[in-house]
Amino acid sequence: MEVRPGANPVDVKTYDTARLRHDFLVQDLFNANEIKTIYSQIDRIIIGAAMPTDKVLTLEAGAELRAKYFLERREMGIINIGGKGTVTVDGKAYEFKYRDGMYVGMGAKEITFASADASDPAKFYFNSAPAHKTYPTVFIDPEKDILPQNKLELGTLEDANHRILRKYILPGQVESCQLEMGITSLEPGSVWNTMPCHTHDRRMEVYLYFEVPENAAVFHYMGEPTETRHIIMHNEEAVISPSWSIHSASATHAYSFIWGMVGENQDFDDMDGVDIKDLR
Ligand SMILES: O=C(O)C(=O)C[C@H](O)C(=O)CO
Ligand SMILES: [Zn+2]
């Protein structure tokens, strides 16, 4: 497991491109028959990816957690962005299609990942956070299970930010200790997410951009509102967003992203909006 330390905005404004990418960008997540995990010391979120092809992969705690098993003191959310596959939690199998999701509560001991077809493997992306209580494990079919109030249509084509936001894991939808997750998808012709942007000092966030065409690029914006920087990203790459940082993007094509949040509260609307005219 790769471990990444926290980030101080006073230091970050002096970073060059390489250092920004080294500290915040997560690349090469999906590799055949591998589970990859990155432990950020910002709110101790773990960013993970499992892409089984012809093997069943078992999630291990690794030396870094000093735990008997991965979810001994943690919870996790999983979303599949690949072909059909199976996640098995303590012997119970859950069949995933594209964009299906799941919350797994603290205490689940054995978690395995498998693909239905090695030539079209499942791509299980997950976020995990420290937990204090066991909430039920819940499977989420976004077409059937997301409550109307948790599917939002935002923005306009005129502002190039028309998008659909689906909240998979948050209070009132799927209960968790601190983790929240969902998917936002840009409509054709729209390229901006989260602009006007915001910070939320009480939560950090991780974005995984996907459905980005091969020759397209996402310009992810980060930094304090008056010290913005960008990181150029491609398909299926993730970026860590500290709580003091804005998180927004424009791209050369429409795209989708999985957002995951952890921290002090679970109030999705607890954001400090930034006027576009105040950005620097
Ligand atoms: O498109 C958006 O707007 C989002 O997806 C916003 C993120 O989910 C977010 O920043 C929540 O704090
Ligand atoms: Zn946010």
User: In this structure, which residue's CA is closest to atom 4 in ligand 1?
Assistant: 194
pLDDT digits (tens, 9 = 90+) for 3-29: 999 999 999 999 999 999 999 999 999
State residue 13 phi and psi, 5-degree precision. Answer: -70, -10
Assess contact for 106 and 117: CB atoms under 8 A. no
The span from the CA of 63 to the CA of 202, in Å, is 29
Q: How many CB atoms lie within 10 A of CB 193?
A: 28
Nearest-5° Cα angle at 35, 105 to 174: 25
Q: Residue 37's beta-bridge partner residues?
A: 48
**pLDDT at residue number 35:** 98
The CATH code that applies to domain 2-278 is 2.60.120.10
Binding residues for Zn(2+): 198, 200, 205, 247
User: In this structure, which residue's CA is closest to atom 3 in ligand 1?
Assistant: 194
Ion ligand 2: protein residues whose beta carbon lies under 5 Å? 205
Assess contact for 127 and 260: CB atoms under 8 A. yes
Residue 254: CB partners within 8 Å, gap ≥ 6?
185, 186, 187, 188, 189, 190, 191, 211
My answer on whether omega of the bond before 213 falls inside 30° of 0, hence cis, is no
DSSP for 101-126 reads EEEE-TT---EEEEES-TTS---EEE
pLDDT digits (tens, 9 = 90+) for 238-273: 999 999 999 999 999 999 999 999 999 999 999 999
- In this structure, what token pair is assigned to residue 264? 């002090």
Through-space distance between the first and last CA atoms of the chain, rounded to whole angstroms: 36
Task: Give residue 254 CA to ligand 1 midpoint distance, Å.
Answer: 15
Assess contact for 180 and 263: CB atoms under 8 A. no
Residue 170: CB partners within 8 Å, gap ≥ 6?
150, 176, 180, 181, 182, 266, 268
Strand order in the sheet with 248-251: 229-233, 218-222, 248-251
pLDDT digits (tens, 9 = 90+) for 145-187: 999 999 999 999 999 999 999 999 999 999 999 999 999 999 9
Q: Which helix (H) or strand (E) holds 11?
A: helix 9-12
Q: Residue 203's beta-bridge partner residues?
A: 263
The span from the CA of 56 to the CA of 63, in Å, is 21
- In this structure, what token pair is assigned to residue 190? 């729209």
Q: Complex ipTM, two decimals?
A: 0.98
pLDDT digits (tens, 9 = 90+) for 89-101: 999 999 999 999 9
Beta strands in 121-217 (DSSP E): 124-130, 138-140, 151-154, 163-169, 180-186, 198-199, 203-210
Q: Which helix (H) or strand (E) holds 30?
A: none
DSSP 236: T
Site residues for ligand 1, CB cut-off 6 Å: 154, 163, 165, 184, 193-194, 200, 205, 247, 259, 271
Q: How many CB atoms lie within 10 A of CB 220?
A: 26
Q: Is 156 helix (H, G, I), strand (E, B) or coil?
A: coil
221, amino acid identity = Y
Q: Residue 57's beta-bridge partner residues?
A: 113
User: Domain boundaries in the chain?
Assistant: 2-278
DSSP 264: S
pLDDT digits (tens, 9 = 90+) for 99-131: 999 999 999 999 999 999 999 999 999 999 999
